C-alpha cells in the first residue's frame, strides 16, 4: 500500500527514526567532547592510515597469488 | 626459549574467552552476525590450539587439518561475514551467506583431497608450522633455511628443485585461501573502520570509536602476518595472532561497554563483536 502525498511510507518513517536515534537516546555524557584533539585529529588520521595499510596488505596478497613475488 | 613455543597457548586462552563472550551475546540476542562472529572466533581458537599442540606434542594429520582449514582458510571470512551481516540489508546478507557456505564446502572437498598427500616427515616441532607447511620452488640464488629438506620434483612438465613442505607443491586448497582471506580482511577491517568513522562523524559513543579502531588494528595485524607468511616469512604469524586476539578482544570489551546513562540502542553492536 502506498502512502498519500505528504504522508510518509512506514519504511521512510523507520529510517527517519533510525537516523535520529543517536540524538534521541545518547545522553551528553556519551558524546565525543568538543575540541578533543584525539577525536578530531588523531583518530581520523589513524583510521585513514589503517585503511591505506589494509589496501596495501590486500594488494601484496594478490601480488603473491598471481606470482609477482615468488 | 623460543616465543613461538608458548605464544599459541596465550592466543588460544584469549580466543576461548572471546568466543565464549560473543556466543553468549548470540544466545541473548539471536542476531546472525553474533553467530558468525562466534563461529569465526571459535575457528580462530581451534587453529591457535593446533599451533600449541604442534609445539607441545608434535605432528598429527587431524591437527594439521584443524590448523590449515579452520585457521588459514575459513577464520577471516567467517568473522568478516559477521560484520557484513551487520552492515548490509538482509537480502544481500542471505545471498552472501549462501555463497560463503557453498565456498566453505568446496574448500572442504579440496582440503580432504590433499590430506592423503601430506608429507609429515619434514615436520619439525621446534619450528612454527607456518614456516613448514608450504612446498616452494627454489630458484638459483634463493636462500634456503638450514635443516630444510630439498628435493627435485616434476611440476607442470618441468623438473624443479623445491624446499619440501607439509603440503604438496601446487595444492589447489592454497589457491582458495586468497579469496577467503581477502573477503574477510575487507569486511572485518573495512567494516570496523567504517563504523568507527560513522560514530566519529556523528560525534557520539567514543567507546565504540576506540573499540572499532582496536578491532581493526587486531584484524590488520593478523592479515599482515598472514601475508608475510605467504611471502615466506612465517615466524611472525604467532605474534600476529596473539596481537590480533588481544586487540580484538579489548576492542570488543570497550565497544560493547555501555556509556554512563546510555540506553540500549537498536544497533548497539560494534563492527566486529
* Alpha helices by DSSP H, chain B: 7-29, 32-56, 61-65, 75-87, 90-114, 172-202, 206-230, 237-256
Number of domains observed in the structure of chain B? 1
Say what the pLDDT of residue B148 is: 79
Q: Is A32 within 8 Å of B200 when comparing Cβ atoms?
A: yes
- Within 10 angstroms of residue A70's Cβ, the number of other Cβ atoms is 11
Task: Test A62 with B202 for CB contact under 8 angstroms.
Answer: no
H/E run at residue B153: strand B150-155
**E strand or H helix that includes residue B152:** strand B150-155
Nearest chain B CA: its distance from A5 CA (Å): 27
Q: Do A54 and B220 touch (CB under 8 A)?
A: yes
User: Does residue B150 lie in a domain region?
Assistant: yes
Beta-carbon separation of B203 and A39 below 8 A: yes
The secondary structure of residue B169, as a DSSP letter, is T
Measure A4 CA to nearest chain B CA, in Å: 26
Query: Would you call B182 an interface residue with chain A, using a CB distance cutoff of 8 Å?
Result: yes
Residue B74 pLDDT = 96
Separation between Cα atoms, residue B99 and residue B187, nearest integer Å: 15
Q: List chain B residues with pLDDT less than 50.
A: 264-268, 273
Chain segment B243-269, per-residue pLDDT in tens: 999 999 999 999 888 766 555 444 445
Confidence of residue A24 (pLDDT cuts 50, 70, 90): low
Tell me whether residue B203 is in a domain: yes
**pLDDT per residue as tens digits for the range A51-70:** 999 999 999 988 888 876 55
Question: Does residue B264 lie within any of the structural domains?
Answer: no
What is d(CA A33, CA A28) in angstroms, rounded to the nearest whole number? Answer: 9
Tell whether B273 is covered by a domain.
Answer: no
DSSP state of A2: P
Separation CA B47–CA B41 (nearest Å): 10
Half-sphere exposure of A67 (CA within 13 A, CB side): 3
User: What's the pLDDT at B156?
Assistant: 78
pLDDT reading at A2 higher than 60: no
Say if B143 falls within a structural domain: yes
Provide the grid cell at A10.
512506514
Residue at B130 is within a domain:
yes
CB B34 within 8 A of CB B25: yes
User: What is the nearest CA distance from A10 to chain B, expressed in angstroms?
Assistant: 17
Q: Which of A26, A39, A51 sits opposite B200 (nearest CB)?
A: A39
DSSP state of B136: E
B136-137 and B150-155: which strand pairing?
Answer: unpaired
Which class for B222: exposed (0-12), middle (13-18), buried (19 or more C-beta within 10 A)? buried
Closest residue, chain B, to A22 (C-alpha): B204
Contacts 24+ apart (CB under 8 A), B10-17: B10/B242, B10/B245, B11/B48, B11/B51, B11/B238, B11/B241, B11/B242, B11/B245, B12/B45, B12/B48, B12/B49, B12/B52, B14/B242, B14/B245, B14/B246, B14/B249, B15/B41, B15/B44, B15/B45, B15/B48, B15/B245, B16/B45, B17/B249
Q: Give dist(CA B24, CA B38) in Å, integer.
A: 9
**CB–CB of A50 and B213 under 8 A?**
yes
pLDDT value of residue A20: 52
Helix ranges (H only) for A1-70 are: 10-25, 37, 43-66
Mutate to test the interface with A, among B134, B137, B193 (most CBs of A within 10 A): B193
pLDDT given for residue B157 in this prediction: 81
Calculated CA dihedral for residues A14, A17, A19, A24, nearest 10 degrees: -160
CATH number at residue B8: 1.20.1070
B262 inside domain: no
For B219, the domain range is 3-256
- B184 lies in some domain: yes
A39 touches chain B (CB under 8 A): yes
User: Whole-number mean pLDDT of chain B?
Assistant: 89
SS3 B214: helix
Amino acid at each position: 500500500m502506498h502512502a498519500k502525498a505528504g504522508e510518509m511510507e512506514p519504511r521512510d518513517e523507520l529510517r527517519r527514526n533510525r537516523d535520529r536515534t543517536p540524538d534521541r537516546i545518547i545522553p551528553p555524557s556519551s558524546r565525543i567532547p568538543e575540541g578533543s584533539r584525539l577525536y578530531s585529529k588523531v583518530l581520523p588520521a589513524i583510521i585513514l592510515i589503517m585503511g591505506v595499510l589494509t589496501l596495501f596488505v590486500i594488494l601484496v596478497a594478490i601480488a603473491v597469488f598471481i606470482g609477482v613475488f615468488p | 626459549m623460543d616465543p613461538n613455543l608458548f605464544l599459541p597457548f596465550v592466543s588460544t586462552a584469549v580466543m576461548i574467552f572471546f568466543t565464549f563472550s560473543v556466543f553468549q551475546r548470540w544466545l541473548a540476542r539471536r542476531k546472525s552476525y553474533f553467530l558468525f562472529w562466534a563461529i569465526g572466533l571459535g575457528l580462530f581458537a581451534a587453529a591457535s590450539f593446533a599451533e600449541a599442540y604442534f609445539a607441545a606434542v608434535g605432528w598429527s594429520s587431524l591437527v594439521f587439518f584443524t590448523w590449515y582449514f579452520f585457521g588459514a582458510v575459513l577464520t577471516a571470512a567467517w568473522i568478516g561475514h559477521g560484520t557484513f551481516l551487520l552492515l548490509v540489508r538482509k537480502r544481500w546478507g542471505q545471498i552472501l551467506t549462501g555463497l560463503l557456505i557453498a565456498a566453505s564446502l568446496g574448500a572442504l572437498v579440496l582440503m580432504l583431497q590433499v590430506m592423503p598427500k601430506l608429507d609429515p616427515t619434514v615436520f619439525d616441532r621446534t619450528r612454527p608450522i607456518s614456516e613448514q607447511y608450504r612446498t616452494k620452488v627454489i630458484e638459483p640464488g634463493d636462500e634456503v633455511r638450514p635443516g630444510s629438506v630439498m628435493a627435485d620434483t616434476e611440476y607442470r612438465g618441468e623438473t624443479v628443485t623445491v624446499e619440501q613442505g607439509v603440503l604438496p607443491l601446487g595444492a589447489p586448497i592454497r589457491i582458495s585461501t586468497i579469496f577467503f582471506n581477502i573477503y574477510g580482511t575487507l569486511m572485518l577491517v573495512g567494516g570496523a573502520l567504517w563504523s568507527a568513522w560513522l560514530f566519529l562523524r556523528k560525534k557520539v559513543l567514543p567507546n565504540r570509536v576506540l573499540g572499532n579502531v582496536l578491532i581493526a588494528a587486531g584484524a590488520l595485524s593478523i592479515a599482515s602476518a598472514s601475508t608475510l607468511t605467504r611471502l615466506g616469512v612465517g615466524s611472525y604469524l604467532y605474534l600476529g595472532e596473539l596481537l590480533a586476539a588481544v586487540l580484538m578482544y579489548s576492542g570488543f570489551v570497550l565497544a560493547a561497554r555501555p556509556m554512563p546513562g546510555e540506553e540500549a540502542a537498536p544497533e548497539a553492536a560494534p563492527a566486529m563483536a
